[in-house]
Amino acid sequence: MIEVKQVSFAYVEQQLHHWILQDISFQVDRGESLAIIGPSGCGKTSLLFLLAGLLQPQQGEVKISEQARCGTILQNYGLFPWKTVYHNIALGLQLQNIAKQEIFTRVNQVLEEMALRPYADYYPAQLSGGMQQRVALARALVIQPDILLMDEPLSSLDALTRERLQNLLIQVWQQKQVLPVIVTHSIEEAVLLGRRVIVLGNKPGQIIQQLENREAGDIEYRQSPLFFERCTLLRKVLMEECHAGEA
Amino acid sequence: MQGKRNLILAAIILLISWQGAALWLNSIALPQPWQVLADFVSKLLQGKIIDDVLISAFRAVAGVVLGALTAVPLGLMIGHEPGLRKSLSPFVYLLYPIPHVVLLPLIIILFGIGNLSKIVLIALIIFFQILVTTRDAAKEIHSNYLYSLQTLGASKWQLYRHVIIPATMPKTLTAMRISIGTAVAILFFVESFATTKGLGYIIMDSWGRADYIALYSGITGMALLGFVLYLLLDRLERSLCRWNRL
């Protein structure tokens, strides 16, 4: 469903190339999930933007299956403060020129699923961080995406809310047959949610480790010894990368 | 409620200060406030000043609307489109500091001596105030808002409609509120030529006749006009940008 082939990407400033990502290749298919983790500034967000089509690589290619729809949740949820919860969620459908009645039905359905119906007329500023995140998820899901791209979607939440939303994400992933791609700086989150975990190294970002993690997506997994083992492995890889960067 | 109380308190303090200054100066150039208010109210009751208030309000509002209708779209485009910003910003920097009132003779040649030239001059002066504010507001929009909409497949017009216009609305309306003050102040100048109607004319005419009570009646009318227009814009901001006050 997603195929990334030898992708390199640079920001160009006054004709100078600042390489952010170099020679990135991977493939993920329907039914899987992908977590991208790495130190700050390693190009995780740029990689997600390349997948979303917001950026174009200088080298290589990003292939997404034809007809595949992408729902996106950007950092700080990307909700529009000037639109109510209902209109934030409805926007994606409005842009596709879908009939008002169908928009109404689909938005209400997703509001119900995310337990947001009583808050339909609230503005984002009137909601807690956890609820804002549910609205962002609802907005991404209402367009019935095949791929769900998320940039550190749970980073600013407290531990309990974060855990609840991780469970919600797992539920969505399994019920909606959507392929989640999550950029995170939390090792535990990457191992819990990514059937494939990609670790990016620093400056320019390169893949330094790809972890097959078939057990991801099982809520009980976070209590298992294997989960801790994999977290420890990733922590070690990241620590080594950070030390190499400092040296 | 608190706002209204503060407003009344401010008005009382201003009137007391005015009264004190008038007594202290003891000059015909600064009459006491009760004389001015009595004159203003009696003219209002006799219907003598209503036409002047209405024509001044029309000129100020039309000037601000014309200025905003041209400055807001251009400001948003310059702020959002880097290419346009690069090529047009030097013009803004060069033209903004010019005292635009000096263009009056040219404006009269182009638009005649009627209302249109007065409205165009007001619009021209406030154009840059609104342009610079909306340009900066559009430039400062967080890219995540734009990206969010782009990933939903938005066209350029939809970006303007759903992100750029609403995101900049509070600052645009603030710029318009400031412009209202400027527009009312410019009335004094634009109504000093080729007219016998308007609060600016009343001020100039009374000044010429050394009728200082009538002069201050005109000033009071202008202050009230500015205040009412300011309140209307405030109300507009409350209803259009409710999200910004949460």
pLDDT tens-place string over residues A181-240: 999 989 999 999 999 999 998 878 888 889 898 888 887 888 899 999 999 998 988 888
Is A82 within 8 Å of B145 when comparing Cβ atoms?
Answer: no
Is A80 an interface residue toward B (CB < 8 Å)?
Answer: yes
Please give the mean pLDDT across all residues of chain A.
Answer: 88
Is B246 within 8 Å of A52 when comparing Cβ atoms?
Answer: no
**CA dihedral sign, ordered B102, B104, B110, B115:** positive
Quick one: tokens of B245? 């006050």
Is A54 within 8 Å of B153 when comparing Cβ atoms?
Answer: no
* pLDDT for B38 beyond 90: yes
For chain B, how far is it from start to end, CA to CA, in angstroms? 18
Fold of B32-245: MetI-like fold (1.10.3720)
Q: Which helix (H) or strand (E) holds A34?
A: strand A34-37
Residue type, A210: Q
Q: Is A41 helix (H, G, I), strand (E, B) or coil?
A: coil
* Phi (first) and psi of residue A98, to 5 degrees: -80, 150
Q: Which helix (H) or strand (E) holds A9?
A: strand A2-13
Give the nearest chain A residue to B142 (CA atoms): A78
Count of residues making up chain A: 247
pLDDT tens-place string over residues A164-184: 888 888 888 888 889 999 999
Partner-chain residue, chosen from B148, B169, B246, that has the shortest CB–CB distance to A78: B148
Q: Could you tell me how far CA B206 lies from the centroid of its own chain?
A: 24
CATH of A2-68+147-246, one of 1.10.10.10, 3.40.50.300, 3.40.50.1110, 2.70.98.10: 3.40.50.300
Q: How confident is the model at residue B110 (pLDDT cuts 50, 70, 90)?
A: very high
Domain boundaries, chain B: 1-30, 32-245
Is B144 within 8 Å of A74 when comparing Cβ atoms?
Answer: yes
Q: Which helix (H) or strand (E) holds A4?
A: strand A2-13
Is A123 an interface residue toward B (CB < 8 Å)?
Answer: yes
Domain boundaries, chain A: 2-68+147-246, 81-145
Q: Which helix (H) or strand (E) holds A35?
A: strand A34-37
* Phi (first) and psi of residue B73, to 5 degrees: -60, -40
Q: How confident is the model at residue B246 (pLDDT cuts 50, 70, 90)?
A: confident
pLDDT of residue A106: 93
Give the nearest chain A residue to B159 (CA atoms): A95
Q: How confident is the model at residue B54 (pLDDT cuts 50, 70, 90)?
A: very high
Q: Is A5 helix (H, G, I), strand (E, B) or coil?
A: strand
Nearest-CA distance A153 → chain B (Å): 13
The whole-angstrom separation of Cα B185 and Cα B222 is 8
Q: Pick A243 or B57 by higher pLDDT.
A: B57
pLDDT tens-place string over residues A18-49: 888 988 999 998 888 999 998 888 888 999 99
Give the Å distances, CA to CA, from A130 to A114, A161, B17, B115, B179.
Answer: 11, 6, 54, 57, 41
Q: Could you tell me how far CA A129 lies from the centroid of its own chain?
A: 17
pLDDT tens-place string over residues B171-217: 999 999 999 989 998 888 888 888 788 899 999 899 989 899 999 99
pLDDT of residue B28: 87
Residue type, A38: G
Residue type, A62: V
Is A153 an interface residue toward B (CB < 8 Å)?
Answer: no
The whole-angstrom separation of Cα B214 and Cα A98 is 62
Nearest-CA distance B155 → chain A (Å): 8
Give the nearest chain B residue to A55 (CA atoms): B147
Question: Which residues are CB-neighbours of A29 under 8 A, at least 6 positions away?
Answer: A1, A2, A179
Nearest-CA distance A123 → chain B (Å): 6
| Segment A148-173 mean pLDDT | 85
Report A:88-107 residues touching B (Cβ under 8 A): 91-92, 95-96
pLDDT of residue B174: 92
Give the nearest chain B residue to A142 (CA atoms): B152
Give the nearest chain A residue to B143 (CA atoms): A78
Q: Over pLDDT 90: what percentage of chain A?
A: 44
Is A78 within 8 Å of B144 when comparing Cβ atoms?
Answer: yes
pLDDT of residue A172: 83
| Segment B17-45 mean pLDDT | 92
Query: β-strands A196-200, A34-37: how paired?
Result: parallel
| Segment B224-240 mean pLDDT | 91
Partner-chain residue, chosen from A72, A76, A79, that has the shortest CB–CB distance to B151: A72
DSSP per-residue string spanning A50-72: HHHTSS--SEEEEEE-TT--EEE
Give the nearest chain B residue to A73 (CA atoms): B148
Query: Half-sphere exposure of residue B129, counting CA atoms within 13 Å on the CB side?
Result: 22
| Segment A50-79 mean pLDDT | 88
Q: How confident is the model at residue B123 (pLDDT cuts 50, 70, 90)?
A: very high
Partner-chain residue, chosen from A54, A76, A125, that has the shortest CB–CB distance to B151: A54
Burial class (CB in 10 A: 0-12, 13-18, 19+), A87: middle
Chain A hits for B151, Cβ within 8 Å: 52-54, 70, 72, 74, 149
Q: Is the peptide bond before A204 cis (omega within 30 degrees of 0)?
A: yes
pLDDT of residue A19: 87
Question: Which residues are CB-neighbours of A157 under 8 A, at least 6 positions away?
Answer: A129, A130, A133, A165
Please give the mean pLDDT across all residues of chain B.
Answer: 90
Write down the ipTM of this complex. 0.82
Is A91 within 8 Å of B169 when comparing Cβ atoms?
Answer: no
Query: β-strands A207-212, A196-200: how paired?
Result: antiparallel
| Segment A81-108 mean pLDDT | 94
Quick one: tokens of B185? 């102040």
Query: β-strands A16-28, A2-13: how paired?
Result: antiparallel
Partner-chain residue, chosen from B148, B152, B167, that has the shortest CB–CB distance to A82: B167
Is A54 an interface residue toward B (CB < 8 Å)?
Answer: yes
Is B145 within 8 Å of A149 when comparing Cβ atoms?
Answer: no
